[in-house]
Amino acid sequence: MTVPRALPAEARAVVRGDRRALAQLITRIESRDPSVAPILRALHPRTGHATVVGLTGPLGVGKSSLVNVLLAHLRSLGKTVAVVAVDPSSPFTGGSVLGDRIRLERDPGDAGVFIRSMASRGRAGGVATATREVVRLLDAAHYDVVLVETVGSGQVDIEIRDVASTSVVVLVPHLGDEVQTLKAGLFEIADVFCVNKSDLPGADAAAKDLSELAGLGAARDGWRPVVVSASARDKTGVTELWTAIEAHEAFLDAEPGRRAEADRRRIANELVELVRDRVAREAAERLQADPSHGKLLDEVAERRLDPRTAADRIYERTHGSSSRTRRR
């Protein structure tokens, strides 16, 4: 493959398949190193080719084990695969134990596989802001499929839709009665439901409940979620799971503009988030530098001021000063 000289050296290394360069760039994205911006900018036109699949679901349903069997299946089909596995950071110390690699078996000499663990670093929603940029980097590095495994946080872990073109919600038998499946959140985001641990009793009932749920409402954007049963332990249902994911991908391509529209929706969310991130960070910094901030805190704590009024004052102060500096 020819790599144009115009690309920054690090971007060229990633496109060339340099695994170390790729890993180091991921670290820089994670730590929000501003110097990665030109590299990401240069690589952006080379993205949009990978199939990005998100796996989400409550703690302990077997997401990592499913990723493991999917990985083997995809390699047997000749596809190259990158895995991004997100685990939680401690809100107290910022530390984390990233344990998803334990379940992932792979030949260490296989250049067609790249696995990266990421800590959530305090970002809510299960999928880190940085995840999108990391996924794009892996896309630019020519991986055919990127599997994103989210923090197993449960009901609100729905940001994965903003990252993946197909979202798989992984569940197990006996997670609750069928009313659980009517609740908002996790059950709304699935393109594919996977009932894992189907070797356990109750799996058929769980799959049946989900199928009923999928059949109840109007299909979202014309797609009715597919329900598959699998057992990562017995390695059954993996072909069916991949077939269901591919069916959703084919659906996105079946009508002109469908995939593009889904893309635009994700990008719209991302842009809002990027701006919000930056505004929030700058506001927090200005607040810390502002000596009157402590006084405001005292006033609220002593019940002389209510939080909303205090927030309004902070907003006016930070917002006002920022627009003044811009105009100058």
Partner 1 sequence: MAEPRAPTPIRVLIAKPGLDGHDRGAKVVARALRDAGMEVIYAGLRQTPEEIVESAIEEDVDLIGLSCLSGAHMALFPRVLKLLKTRKVRDVPVFAGGIIPDDDAKRLRRIGIKAVFGPGTTLEEIVRTARGIARHRT
DSSP letter string, 99-141: -GGGG----TT-TTEEEEEEE-TT-TTSS-HHHHHHHHHHHHT
- Which residue in 121, 258, 266, 317 binds partner 1 (CB under 8 A)? 121
DSSP state letter for 221? T
Please give the Cα distance from 141 to 74 (Å, whole number): 17
- Which residue in 47, 96, 236, 239 binds partner 1 (CB under 8 A)? 96
Structure tokens at 188: 């709304």
Question: Is there binding between residue 19 and partner 1 (CB under 8 A)?
Answer: yes
From residue 258 to residue 297, what is the string marking binding to partner 1 with x (rule CB under 8 A)?
--------------------x--x---x------------
Question: Is there binding between residue 323 and partner 1 (CB under 8 A)?
Answer: no
Structure tokens at 7: 């690309």
In terms of phi and psi (left: phi > 0; alpha: psi -120 to 50; beta: otherwise), the region of 137 is alpha
Question: Is there binding between residue 109 and partner 1 (CB under 8 A)?
Answer: yes
End-to-end CA distance of the chain: give it in Å, rounded: 48
Please give the Cα distance from 65 to 96 (Å, whole number): 20
Total chain residues near partner 1 (CB under 8 A): 33
CB of 276 to partner 1, least distance (A): 13
| CB of 285 or CB of 306, closer to partner 1 | 285
Count of Cβ atoms closer than 10 Å to residue 76 Cβ: 10
Structure tokens at 194: 């996977």
Question: Is there binding between residue 89 and partner 1 (CB under 8 A)?
Answer: yes
CA-to-CA separations, 315 to 91, 239, 295, in angstroms, rounded: 26, 53, 15
Residues 230-259 binding partner 1 (CB under 8 A) are none
Question: Is there binding between residue 41 and partner 1 (CB under 8 A)?
Answer: no
- Which residue in 72, 98, 205, 314 binds partner 1 (CB under 8 A)? 98
| CB of 134 or CB of 169, closer to partner 1 | 134
Please give the Cα distance from 144 to 67 (Å, whole number): 15
CB of 191 to partner 1, least distance (A): 28
- Which residue in 116, 132, 136, 197 binds partner 1 (CB under 8 A)? 116
- Which residue in 16, 17, 24, 180 binds partner 1 (CB under 8 A)? 24
CB of 30 to partner 1, least distance (A): 7
CB of 19 to partner 1, least distance (A): 6
| φ/ψ (deg, to 5) at 119 | -90, 145
CB of 48 to partner 1, least distance (A): 23
CB 14 within 8 A of CB 114: no
- Which residue in 3, 23, 279, 311 binds partner 1 (CB under 8 A)? 23
CB 270 within 8 A of CB 277: no
Position 326, amino acid: R
CB of 78 to partner 1, least distance (A): 21
The most distant pair of C-alpha atoms in the chain lies apart, rounded to whole Å, by 69
| CB of 19 or CB of 276, closer to partner 1 | 19
Question: Is there binding between residue 108 and partner 1 (CB under 8 A)?
Answer: yes
| CB of 43 or CB of 171, closer to partner 1 | 43
The residue ranges that bind partner 1 (CB under 8 A) are: 19-20, 23-24, 26-27, 30-34, 89-90, 93-99, 101-102, 108-109, 114-117, 119, 121, 278, 281, 285
